[in-house]
Structure 1
Amino acid sequence: MSADPRKPVLVIGLGRFGSAVAATLERMGHEVLGADADAEIVRDHKDALTQIVEADCTEIETLRRLGAAEFDTAIVAIGTNVEASLLAVLALVDLGLPNIWAKATSERHGRILERTGAQHVVFPEQKMGERVAHLVNERLLDFISFDGEFAIARLRAPEPIIGLPLVTSQCRKKFDVTVVGVKRTGEDFIHAVPDTIIMPEDELVVSGRIDRIEAFSALCAS
């Protein structure tokens, strides 16, 4: 989520997703105002965030009183109440915020959020489900997808390229993946170059189409 570090970010909805986003933004150096209509949630997070308020952010007048119009970026992290998430986005649009992110719980919810005016819609549960599915076979050590077709993954070095420099193994030509970096025990990740020789215990960071990465990881020795 891109946000100007010199300006504050408004986070509406402090459930697991919203509170995690808010806390991470604060650690990154952003000034964050967290808001939730549930008094108990606000009490639970009062020590985790520098600024937190109990407020019904589906009302435009409430948002005005909070100074929401002065924010460039707002994140609507309301998940369970679809109507509330839509009303909050609509109110932010009416206030003229240029950078609105919203959490969606379904494709239909996401489409409505976009039509309401959210510039960025995220599906955290869906993305996490996809990530777990790709990791469960234990061939992939980490996995991040982009646009549903491409990904960056961390995996153990497959048997066919062990002992070879990358220029010889020709991963891009033979397997249609790009080896971006290499991690060795006790060492930092290094940027992969054509002369990099892959060792048996190496972990690789690779990029490419998801199906190609899955096929590449399947070459790992059992």
Structure 2
Amino acid sequence: MADRTSEPVVVVGLGRFGTSLALELTRRGTEVLAIDRRPKVVQSLAGHITHVVTADSTDIEALRQLGVPDFYRAVVAIGGDLEASILTASLMVELEIDDIWAKAISRQHGRILSRIGVQHVVFPEHDMGERVAHMVSGRMLDYIEVDENFALIKTRPPKEYVGVPLGESNLRRKHGVTVVAVKSPGEEFTYATADTELGYGDVIIVSGRTEQVERFAELP
């Protein structure tokens, strides 16, 4: 199968989410066609994104004229206007874009997008809120859910595991988690091994089922 990761991306909707996405893709060297119906927004981003144009994404002829059917991947980043979001996504499906991503602002919105053929529905506000909630309410320094019930967290080592080689700690048997990487003060992250001993000032990356890493992060 051909590698499609470096192919150009069309991003529709240049609110905070769409703009951040388009700018980051451009920074990474990906060619981006960014579309928004507001001329002032488009003008402000000219020169910062590969191609940025003013157009109505709910007009299929406008999308055709911009060459959107030639793209393999598209992101519908419209959030505030549900009708425009759904119609634009349906046009991307009609234009047979192979890999469609779309922002949803509610579960109902997300279900509609999925039903019309969007392969990847994202909930940026919900996901960021959940991530921050985990950090605010506990000892986690960062939290990333990588699957429905599997997460990576950044935290400090519990006292009982400081100075104990990981191979002797029985962390996986006791808590169902694995220490993936360790960062000592003034140093970079390194992969954890069975011989790694954790220190009080260390920061660790831990993986496991969501409820297990949450419990582990609360250990004193």
TM-score normalised by length of structure 1: 0.95
Would you say the 8 A contact 1:150–1:210 is kept in 2?
yes
Whichever residue aligns with residue 56 of structure 1, its letter is D
Identity fraction in percent: 48
Correspondence list, 1:52-201, <5 A: 52-201=52-201
Would you say the 8 A contact 1:76–1:103 is kept in 2?
yes
- Could you list the per-position Cα deviations for residues 109-167 of structure 1 after superposition, in whole angstroms to 9, with x for gaps in the alignment? 00100111111000000000100100103510111013332110100111110010001
Match of 1:37 in 2: 37
Q: Flag the 1:152–1:85 CA change in 2: closer, same or farther, 3 A.
A: same
Deviates more, 1:26-35 or 1:138-147: 138-147
Deviates more, 1:42-51 or 1:129-138: 42-51
Question: How far apart are residue 48 of structure 1 and its match?
Answer: 2.2
Would you say the 8 A contact 2:138–2:218 is kept in 1?
no
- Could you list the per-position Cα deviations for residues 82-106 of structure 1 after superposition, in whole angstroms to 9, with x for gaps in the alignment? 1101111111111111000000000
SS of match in other structure, 2:137: coil
CA distance in 2 between counterparts of 1:146 and 1:106 reads 20
Q: Compute the RMSD of aligned alpha carbons.
A: 1.2
- Could you list the per-position Cα deviations for residues 174-199 of structure 1 after superposition, in whole angstroms to 9, with x for gaps in the alignment? 11111100011111111111111111
Q: How many residues align?
A: 218
TM-score normalised by length of structure 2: 0.96
Whichever residue aligns with residue 42 of structure 1, its letter is V
Whichever residue aligns with residue 169 of structure 2, its letter is S
Whichever residue aligns with residue 167 of structure 2, its letter is V
Question: How far apart are residue 50 of structure 1 and its match?
Answer: 2.3
Q: Structure 2: 5+ residue runs without aligned partners?
A: none
Match of 2:17 in 1: 17
Question: How far apart are residue 44 of structure 1 and its match?
Answer: 2.1
CA distance in 2 between counterparts of 1:87 and 1:177 reads 44
Would you say the 8 A contact 1:5–1:29 is kept in 2?
no
Q: Structure 1: 5+ residue runs without aligned partners?
A: none
